[in-house]
Structure 1
Amino acid sequence: MAALRAQCVLLTGSNRGIGLELVRQLLGGPHPPTHIFATCRDPEGPRGKDLRDLASKHPNLMLVKLDVADPSAIVNAAKIVEGKLNGAGLNLLINNAGIFTPVSLETVDSEDMIRAYKTNAVGPLLMAQAFLPLLKKAAQDGKEKRLSCNKAAIINISSFLGSIKGTPESYFKPVISYRCSKADLTVDTSVRGLLSVLPILSEKHSGMLLNWEGKAIPW
């Protein structure tokens, strides 16, 4: 199985769940990145403890304060990362941060919608804009001819619930059934699957929605 060889990686939403496990497995992989930038809203607070523990053991892990719903915070984080890279580029941007509020059509309000869009849709877009110069730098300096996660790429972590074609399979079912069905797939297994898929991605996968096994999910 191919291994990810990206030298510089940045992840959003790194203090728990899939984000935290991605950090753990990247650090413990056969080819750990020379720089891992793990971002979250409050790395110095109680929810950042696991990240701080990892950073104390791994000098290649750097914690960066970042709220993807705050455009100014994104710009500031990009400046911090650029300074830490000292002229190098960013190979891989993983937009993992997201929020899920268990509201129905009857209970959702405008604030719920705006908050979700700021974090889940606008946030990844602004992240891509802010870090594009560093991604282009990595692409220019990389030895590989084709784009890949080892050279320069943006990966947006999504969900089956983002599939429009899959709406009939999920919309009319209670959210609890979806959450319970996810319990069969542990975070560890999910991340191992993700890290086995990332090394095989290329330009032909651009814009595709893939599951943890690399199988295409219809939009």
Structure 2
Amino acid sequence: MAELCVCSVLVTGANRGLGLGLVQHFLRLPNPPQWIFATCRDPNGQRAQELQTLASKHPNLVIIGLEVANPASIKAAAAKVGEHLGGSGLNLLINNAGIVKPNSLDNETPEDMIQVYTTNTVGPLLMGQVFLPLLKKAAQGSPGSELSCSKAAIINMSSIGGSIASSYGWELMQITSYRCSKAALNMLSRCQSLAYKEHGILCVALHPGWVQTDMGSCAGHTPPVTVDDSVQGMLKVLSSLSEKDTGAFLDWEGNVLPW
């Protein structure tokens, strides 16, 4: 399997968990991206220290403040990314930032539902809209017509919890607002794949597995998949994606998941 090769990548929610793992693995690639944009809500805060340390050692890593639930923040981040890229475009947008409220169905509230939906679904919608010009520029600057992550792609970090056909994990975690937000994200991914295909942009919903992160452990159980294993698997999947996969719902091992 060929290594993933992209000139530029942006990862949201990059200060911990899967986002940080993705940044670390991109830096370790034999041919790392020329630009890695790692975004988080508070780049100078305590929770971004590991990211700051990495950036001090890798000039191709740029940390940018970004709140995915805030349209003005997204526009400001896109402007900064555009400045760094100069005349080039953004090859790979990974919408990884997400939140969960570990409520049972009986305890779900409108406030929590709206907050989770805003971050997990509306955020990736806005990111796709605002970064579309940079993604289109990358697609136009890439030879060939075949879709791929090396050309231009949006990867939405979804979850098997958003599958309507599967009840995976219900006994352990009802997390209704999270499940609803990811089901909606899956449909957004399909809509993006249909709307952006003409621009040469591939769009996929990707389930990273049940991973050993703060979010994955929120129900008090130890998840079976490590961050390293998940990220290695996802990068392998990303390297193999082509036109036939756009609009798909896949997991970190490349399996097609039921909608």
TM-score band by shorter chain is over 0.9
| Separation of aligned partners in 2, 1:4 and 1:125 | 25
CA-to-aligned-CA distance 1:169-194 (integer Å, 9 cap, x gap): 433x1229x75776221000000000
Q: Equivalent residue of 1:156, what SS?
A: strand
Per-residue Cα deviation, 1:136-176 (whole angstroms, up to 9, x for no partner): 00000012331110000000011110111113x433x1229
| 1:162 to 2:162 alignment | yes
- State the match for 1:91 in structure 2: 91
Q: State the partner residue of 2:113.
A: 113
Residue of 237, 250, 257 corresponding to 1:197: 237
User: Could you say which residue in structure 1 is the equivalent of 2:224?
Assistant: 184
Closer/same/farther in 2, CA of residues 204 and 182 from structure 1, 3 Å limit? farther
Please list the CA deviations of residues 21-76 of structure 1 after superposition, one character each: whole Å capped at 9, or x if unmatched.
Answer: 00000001111000000000001000110110000000000000001011110011
SS in 2 for 1:18: helix
The question of 1:7 aligning with 2:38 is answered no
Unaligned runs of 5+ in 1: none
1:28 maps to: 28
CA RMSD of aligned residues (A): 1.4
Identity of aligned residues (%): 55
Tell me if 1:211 matches 2:218: no
Residues in 2 aligned to 1:76 and 1:196: alpha-carbon distance in whole angstroms: 31
Task: State TM-score, norm by structure 1.
Answer: 0.95
TM-score, L = length of structure 2: 0.81
Q: Amino acid of the residue matched to residue 198 of structure 1?
A: L
Q: How does 1:5-154 map to 2 (within 5 A)?
A: 5-154=5-154
